[in-house]
Amino acid sequence: MTIDNIENYLQKYKRTLLDDIVPFWLNNSQDNEYGGFFTCLDREGKVYDTDKFVWLQCRQVWCFAMLYNEVESREEWLDCALLGADFLLNNAVDEQGNWYFSLTREGTPLIQPYNIFSDCFAAMAFAQLFKATGKQEYASVALNTFNNILARKENSKGKYNKVILGVRDLKSFSLPMILSNLVLEVEHLLDNSVVEETLRTTIDTVLNDFYQPEESIILENVGLEGEFVDCFEGRLVNPGHGMEAMWFLMDIGVRNNDLQLIEKAKDISLSLLSYGWDEKYGGIFYFRDIKDKSPLQLEWDQKLWWVHMETLVCLLKGYLHTDDKRCWEWFEKVHDYSWKHFSDPSYGEWFGYLNRQGEPLLSLKGGKWKGCFHVPRGMFQCWKTLEKIIEKNQL
C-alpha cells in the first residue's frame, strides 16, 4: 500500500460521487410540478412509480444540504434540498408532529406514521438544512422532531404496534443504532446534557444489550433486559446494521477522545464482517441466524448495496483510527467486490439488489427502500476518510 494507491481510491470515490451519483439524482429525481422527489427510478433514471416515501424524501434533503455544507456551496444543491423540504413541511407531518410513512405524488398521506424512521431522517434533514440556511423554522422542526423521537423511543410504533404486549416483548437494534448517529447530526441544536445522556445510553444499549461477546456478534432483537430470546427474531443477525453502527461508534469515540471505544468498535466490525462474508461467492449476506438455523427472511442470502457501502466506510475509519492492517485488507476485498457487482458504468449509480452469486436481481436504482442516501453518503465518507489517511501517513 502506497500513498499513490490510497490517492487512487480517494479520487475514485470523490469523482464517482460528484460526476456520477449526485448528477443521477439531481437530474432524474426532482418533481418540479408537485415538489419533493421521485425515488422509484429504473436503471436509466426514468420514473416508474410516483409514490413518495417520507423517509427517503428526508434522506435526500439531508444529502443535498450536507453536500452544500461540506463540499461546495452550489445553489443547485441547496435548491434541491429546499424543493424536498417545502414539500415535506406542507404534506408529511400529522397534527401531533409525527411524520407519515408515504404520500401520493401530490402529497396526500397514504400510510400512517407507524414507523419512527421517517421522524429520525426528518430531524437529520432539517438540522442539516438549518446549517445551510440559518432559517430558524428548520431548527425548530428538527428539535421538535428529535424530542418526539426521544419521547416515543420505548414504544415507537404506539397504536400501530401489531404484537401482543407482555407475551414476547423485544426491543430492536435499529433505533439505538440510528440514535448514535442522529444525536451527532443534531448536536448543534441540543443542550449538552441531552447529547451526553443520549450518547451514554445509546453506547450502553448497543454494547451491553445487543452485542453478544461470546460470538462477537450483534443481534437485531433482544429481550427488554438485553437477554437472548430463542426465536426467529431473537436469533436474527444483520451484518450490515452492525457495520454501520460500528462506524457511528467510532465517530462518537473520536468526539469523546475515547480510544477504547474506537478499538472495540473496530474489533467488533472485523468479527461481524468475517461472520457475514460469503466464502463461496463473495459479498456480505443480508441476514444470518446466530444458531445457523434457517432465517425467517427469504432474502437472507441476497447482497445489498447499503450493506457493502456502510462496510467500506467502517473499514476505512477503522484503519484510520487504529492502523489495523486487517481493516485495509478487508477494505480492498470489499471494494473490489462492490465495484465489480454494484456499480453500473453504463447508466450511473449502483444496483441495489444482487442474488447470492452477485448478479443483479433488479435493475432499479431507486424504489421504496433505496434512495439518495447510502451511496452518496458512503462515497463522501470514504473520500474524506481516505484524505485523512493520507494526511496521517504524511506526518
CATH numbers and ranges of domains, the chain: 31-162 (1.50.10.20)
Mean of the pLDDT values across residues 111-126?
A: 95
d(CA 383, CA 388): 9
Q: Inform me whether the pLDDT recorded for 11 exceeds 90.
A: yes
Report the alpha-carbon angle 308-59-202, nearest 5: 70
Q: Is the pLDDT of residue 100 over 90?
A: yes
- Cα–Cα distance measured from residue 326 to residue 58, given in angstroms and rounded to the nearest whole number: 35
Q: Residue 383: what pLDDT?
A: 98
- At 1, is the pLDDT very low, low, confident or very high (cuts 50, 70, 90)? low
**Is the predicted pLDDT of residue 60 greater than 90, yes or no?**
yes
Q: How far apart are CA 312 and CA 254, in angstroms?
A: 18
pLDDT of residue 244: 98
Of 266, 353, 388, 288, nearest to 9 by C-alpha is 388
Q: Are 139 and 130 in contact (CB under 8 A)?
A: yes
pLDDT in tens, 221-254: 999 999 999 999 999 999 999 999 999 999 999 9
* Phi, psi (deg, nearest 5) at residue 96: -90, 0
pLDDT band with cut points at 50, 70 and 90 for residue 213:
very high
- Locate all alpha helices (DSSP H) within 227-371, ordered by sequence: 239-256, 259-276, 305-322, 325-341
Identify which of 114, 122, 252 has the alpha carbon closest to the alpha carbon of residue 176: 252
- Sign for the CA dihedral angle at 140, 146, 150, 154 comes to positive
Give the whole-angstrom CA distance, residue 169 versus residue 86. 38
pLDDT digits (tens, 9 = 90+) for 150-209: 988 877 777 787 888 889 999 999 999 999 999 999 999 999 999 999 999 999 999 999
pLDDT of residue 152: 87
Above 90 in pLDDT, residue 395? no
pLDDT the model gives residue 362 = 97
The per-residue pLDDT of the chain, averaged, comes to: 96
Q: What is the mean pLDDT of residues 292-314?
A: 97
Q: Specify the pLDDT at position 275.
A: 98
Q: pTM score > 0.95 for this model?
A: yes
What span, in angstroms and rounded, lies between the C-alpha atoms of 358 and 351?
11
Is the pLDDT score of 4 beyond 80?
Answer: no
Helix-helix angle 3-16:374-394, to 10 degrees: 150
